[in-house]
Amino acid sequence: MKLSKTASRLGRFIAFTIVLTAAALSALPSRAAVGCTSPPSGLVSWWRAEGNANDSADGNHGVLAGGTTFSAGEVGQAFSFNGSNAYVSVVASSNLNVGAAGGFTVEGWINPGDVSATHIIGEWNNGSGGIGVQFYHSNPGIGGVGALAANVVSTSGGDHLFASSPNLITANNFQHVALTYDKATGIGRLFCNGVAVAVQNLGVFTPQTTYGLNFGARASGFPLGIYFVGLMDELSLYGRALTTNEIQTIYAAGNAGKCAPTTPLACVAAPSGLVSLWRGENNALDSVDGNNGTLVGNTVYGAGRVGQGFVFDGTTDRVAI
C-alpha cells in the first residue's frame, strides 16, 4: 500500500513553494514553436497514441485495457481514459527497467477530466500487488488537490514521496508533465509546462522499475484502480534524467511535438510458397488469397508486433477459416 502510507510518512515530506517574479515569468518557456523538436537522447519508449499503443522508439508495445479509446490530443491523437476500467498496459522488459540505469524520465501531455481525487498517470506494477515507481496527481494527502506528485519506490520497497504545491494541475486542458530522477545526485524533479514545480533530494538508491508499466490505472495492489479520467498523449520514457532545458524544449514544441521517426524499419519479402497471411489489421481477411477468417467468441484487436493484432481471452476466442 503505497499511496495510503502518506500519513505515517509526512514527517519526511518537504514541500517547496516557488514564487515567480515578473522577470522570472517572462523567462518561462515559450509555446511559439514552428516545428517539431528532435527527441532527446536516451529515449527508451514512446507511445504516441496515434490510433494504437505501439512504441515508436522500440518494441515495448502497449495493450489497450478496458474502455481505452482515442480522441484529439495535443499532438495528433491521444489515449482517452474513462476513469472506470481503461488503461494502457506494457509488459515488463529489460529496457523498461530504467531504474537500473543512472536515472530516468517519464514525460508526456495530460488533460485530466477531474482533479478532485487521486489519479494515476503512470506506474510500474507486477500484477500481483507489487507496486514500483508511481506518478500521479491530486492526492489529498500528498500535495493536495491539483498537485503533481510521485513516489519513487526503491527495489527494497522504500517510499520516496514528493509533490508540488496544490492547484497546479487543472481539468479539461492539456499540460505537459514530467518526472525525473538522477541516481548520481539523488535529486527528483517534477515539471509542469516546462517549469520545475518540485525539487527534492530523495537519496541515492535503485528505483523499482522491473515490473510492467501501466498508464492510467493501478492494475493490482491497494488501493486498486485509481483510474485516470481524461486524455494522455506522447507518453515517453528515457533512461536518464532529462535536463530542465530539454524538458522546456519539448513543452515549447507544443502541438508540433517531438519529431517522428522518418526511417521505418524495412519489411522483409515473404518467402516463396506463401499460401495465406492473416495480418489482424482490424479484420480476419487473408491478404494473399481468399481464405478469409471469421472471428469467434469475443475476439477483438489490439496493438500488435506489426500494426494491429488479434486479442484472445483464452476461453472461447478463435479465428475460424
Summarize pLDDT for 180-218 with one digit per residue, the tens.
999 999 999 999 999 999 999 999 999 999 999 999 999
pTM here is: 0.74
| pLDDT over 70 (residue 6) | no
CATH number belonging to domain 37-256: 2.60.120.200
Q: What is the pLDDT of residue 20?
A: 44
Q: What is the pLDDT of residue 154?
A: 98
When pLDDT is averaged across residues 49-59 and rounded to a whole number, the result is 95
| pLDDT over 80 (residue 76) | yes
When pLDDT is averaged across residues 160-169 and rounded to a whole number, the result is 98
> Chain centroid to CA 187: how far?
21
- Lowest-pLDDT range of 64-73, 99-108, 273-282: 273-282
Q: Which residue has the higher pLDDT, 269 or 187?
A: 187
C-alpha 194/C-alpha 269 separation (Å) is 45
Please name which of 19, 71, 13, 40 lies closest in space to residue 195, comparing C-alpha atoms. 19
Query: Boundaries of CATH 2.60.120.200 in the chain?
Result: 37-256
C-alpha 110/C-alpha 104 separation (Å) is 19
Grid coordinates belonging to 142: 500528498
11 pLDDT band, cuts 50/70/90, is very low
Half-sphere exposure of 77 (CA within 13 A, CB side): 15
| pLDDT over 60 (residue 117) | yes
Whole-number average pLDDT of the chain: 88
Convert 267-300 to b/e letters by CB count within 10 Å (16 or more is b): eeeeeeeeeeebbbeeebbbeeeeeebeeeeebe
Please name which of 106, 126, 115 lies closest in space to residue 42, comparing C-alpha atoms. 106
The alpha-carbon radius of gyration of the chain (Å, integer) is 21
